[in-house]
Structure 1
Amino acid sequence: MKEIPLTVRRSIEITGLFFLGWIVVLGKGLLAPLLMAFFISIMLLPLYRFFRNRKFPEALAIGVSLLALIVALGLIVWFFSSQISILIRDFPAIQKNVMRHLTALSSWLGSKTPWSSQEQLKFINEQSNNLLTYAGSLLGGLAGGVTGTLIFLGLLPIYIFLLLFYRNLLLRFVFLWFPRDSHEGVEDTLREMQVIIKSYLFGLLIQITYMTVLLGGILMIIGIKHALLIGIIFAFLNLIPYVGALLGNIIGVLLTLASSEELWPVVAVLGTIAAVQFLDNNILMPRIVGSKVKINALATIVGVIVGGEIAGIAGMFLSLPIIAVLKVVFDRSEQFKQWGVLFGDERPSRSPMEIPVLRWDTKAIRKKLERENEIEPTTKKEKDNLS
């Protein structure tokens, strides 16, 4: 049989990726809750196995695991809503502080620019009217968004239950796609994917906890109002790579400005967030999640933006674990290894233009790059623990 030319194969790959992206965009309403349920079901597997080992019926073990998840999410929602209610009770003081800051800003602008107080007031009124018009159209769009969110939340537990219940059937379906001689490689890929997803998602849960406690606790000691609210908002937004931390800083500053008559708390909040984030990025998170798969910053940012465009906030949260899973699959596939290199952070210290050996696709070179970039291989023990 005549072999397909390399250029034709690459053209087919690009065309396939285009149509795959098109299908994802068209089916995002189905795929977003299904992918979220897939990742959550992998997280629930240890709890499910715990109940199965104690002779629970399969459906009951899945149901109890789901109930534990719902209780945990309910506690998070209750904690967040209690902090919001405290913020609402302080609304009169917040309104007074905002007016004081606006008056100070107006005086400063009046001294530095030719704009008078009347011109500034006219500008603010015009922008307020524009903002109200925009808010009206936004609320109209949110009506459809709320319906979509309710459908998403309603489908999620159903999908989780069915994915856990039919997991063996789904695994058999995956193996039947491949010839027998490649089943060992498929099994290794599936186990490695499970290790990556579990270490990443459990690491994120731990990160949310210690970021809320650490950031909120330090801000409370300093004397910042709504410290816990700032902590939990930043902890959740920090899950969105790069973009989330920026949004968390902005919201933290706005909440502090609205709750304080002075400016020093803003500096304290920014300094505390910077210190906690440095600790998180360089010491805590690498030890918790590990470095078995490193995604480069370019792929991360593009993935977050593309995920946000396709599925909104859910897509931004899901983008990084999806890229990590795709990298594991691509690294194990002879046809798509170049895509695994594109997503990864195994950066050569020298240019392949100068060192021809770096252009080759060999295990020795890949392992050398992984050692240089401090990427840990998945151990046999970790794979066996998932059996």
Structure 2
Amino acid sequence: MNNMPLTVRRSIEVMGLFFLGWIVVLGKGLLTPLLMAFFISIMLLPIYRFFQDRKFPDAVSIGISLLTLIIVLAGIVWFFSSQMSILIRDFPTIQKNVMNHLTSLSEWVGSKTPFSSQEQTKFIREQSNNLLNYAGNLLGSVAGGVTGILVFLGLLPIYIFLLLFYKNLLLRFVFLWFPRDRHEKVGETLGEIQVIIKSYLFGLLIQVTYMTILLGGILMIIGIKHALLIGVIFAFLNLIPYVGALLGNVIGVLLTLASSDELWPILVVLGTIAAVQFLDNNILMPRIVGSKVKINALATIVGVVLGGEIAGIAGMFLSLPVIAMLKVVFDRTDQFKQWGVLFGDERPERSPMDVPVLRWRSDRVRKKLEEENKIEPPHKD
């Protein structure tokens, strides 16, 4: 393929990306749980290896790892259900507060516009009916997707078990794709992928924990109702880059507005979320996850939107680790280095139009840019 003209090689690359995307869209029902199981199995590797080193059989080591995962997920579900039961118990108060806010809003609109209270009431009633119809259709689609969700949850532990059980076979399959003189580089790439994905996912787990405790604890001390629920919802939504933080702010405001008859708690919630997010983005998260791989904002946003279009919320969560994994592969493949540059954040200070060396496929140039952008090379723990 190296003897082909450059335009032919680039055309084949673009066609390959097109067909790869087509296969992903057609096979998303298979690939989404498989990718999720792959990333979770990487997180479970330390537990699996702990018991394997103590001469436990493979099946027992994997079973204990899965049991640990199930206990953690059960704890999360219990926490959500307990918080939602508190929210449902406060529903009459929420309904009363919502009506008070709507009345205040109606009076303000009436004082600033020519619309009377009757016209506003008619408009609200019409929009409420439309909203109810939309909610009914949405619930119908959700009910229709229950089977798919159950299949997804049923396949997940099976895939995790099989990926861990056959990991050596799968690794041999990967090595057999490459000639012997490339095996050392392939091994280094696989090791870096494991380190980066494990670091990223464990970092997200720690992030969800301290965001929930920090945000929920501060709001609880201030006296905001449903503080823990706001904290845990924002912590989980914050895992979705850019989009999740916006949705978390909106849901936090709606919960606060519904549970309080005053407006000052909204400002408190927004201010607290902004302060906690600033602390998370600039101090805590960089120290926990590190900066082993940096994905630029453009690639992140496009990846999140594309993942959401392909596989919904699960695709949005999976988008960033998939891009990070692809970047590691592209950076260490001579044929696809340009795609690694496109995904990365190794931004040159000067333009390649003025500095010819920045146009080269050079590992030395890449490492220099990584140092300038404070990107640490992955290392095994």
Q: TM range, normalised to the smaller chain?
A: over 0.9
Measure, in 2, the Cα distance between the counterparts of 1:251 and 1:63.
37
Question: How far, CA to CA, are the matches of 2:257 and 2:16 in structure 1?
Answer: 50
Percent of pairs with identical residues? 82
Q: Following superposition of structure 1 onto structure 2, how do residues 215-226 of structure 1 map, counting pairs within 5 Å?
A: 215-226=215-226
Greater mean alpha carbon deviation, residues 43-52 or residues 359-368 = 359-368
Determine the structure 2 residue equivalent to 1:183.
183
TM-score normalized with structure 2 length: 0.99
2:337 is the counterpart of 1:360: no
Partner of 2:142 in structure 1? 142
Structure 2, unmatched stretches of 5+, are: none
SS in 2 for 1:262: coil
SS at match of 2:334: coil
- Tell me the residue number matched to 1:78: 78
Aligned length: 381
Alignment of 1:247 onto 2:247: yes
After superposition, what is the alpha-carbon deviation per residue over 1:157-198, rounded to whole angstroms, capped at 9, x for unaligned?
000000000000000000000000000000000000000000
The residue identity in structure 2 corresponding to 1:3 is N
Asked if 1:33 is matched to 2:28, the reply is no
1:47 match:
47
- Within-5 A mapping of 1:76-225: 76-225=76-225
Amino acid in the other structure paired with 1:182: R
SS of residue matched to 1:336: helix
Shift of 1:54: 1.7
Q: In 1, distance between residues paired with 2:261 and 2:140?
A: 35
2-side partners of 1:23 and 1:363: how far apart? 32
TM-score (norm 1): 0.97
Pairwise CA distance, 1:154: 0.4
- For the residues of structure 1 that align with 2:2 and 2:214, how far apart are their CA atoms? 63
- Once residues 357 and 179 of structure 1 are traced to their aligned partners in structure 2, the CA distance between those partners, rounded to angstroms, is 31
2:172 and 2:102 mapped to 1: Cα distance? Answer: 64
Per the TM alignment, residue 145 of structure 1 is displaced from its structure 2 partner at its CA by 1.6
Instruction: For 2:248 and 2:196, locate their aligned partners in 1 and report how far apart those are by CA, in whole Å.
Output: 26
Question: What's the CA shift for 1:2?
Answer: 8.4
1:57 Cα deviation after fit: 1.1
For residues 267-309 of structure 1, give each alpha carbon's deviation from its aligned partner in whole angstroms, at most 9, with x where no partner exists: 0000000000000000000000000100000000000000000
> How far does residue 363 in structure 1 lie from its aligned partner after superposition?
1.7
User: Which runs of structure 1 show a deviation greater than 4 angstroms over 4 or more consecutive aligned residues?
Assistant: none
Deviations 1:330-372 (A, max 9, x none): 0000000000000000001111111111111112211111111
Q: Name the CA distance, whole Å, in 2 between partners of 1:364 and 1:211.
A: 39
Give SS of 1:55's match: coil
One-letter code aligned to 2:238 = N
Give me the CA root mean square deviation: 0.9
Classify the secondary structure of the residue corresponding to 2:335: coil
Distance 1:190 1:107, change over 3 A: same
1:309 aligns with 2:309: yes
Q: Distance in 1 between matches of 2:99 and 2:137?
A: 27
How far apart are residue 144 of structure 1 and its match?
A: 2.1
Q: Deviations over 1:98-130 (max 9, x none)?
A: 000000000000001111100100100110111
SS in 2 for 1:335: helix
Q: Distance in 2 between matches of 1:357 and 1:2?
A: 22
In the TM superposition, residue 147 of structure 1 has moved relative to its aligned partner by 1.2
Q: Deviations over 1:208-241 (max 9, x none)?
A: 0000000000000000000000000000000000
Q: Distance in 2 between matches of 1:206 and 1:20?
A: 33
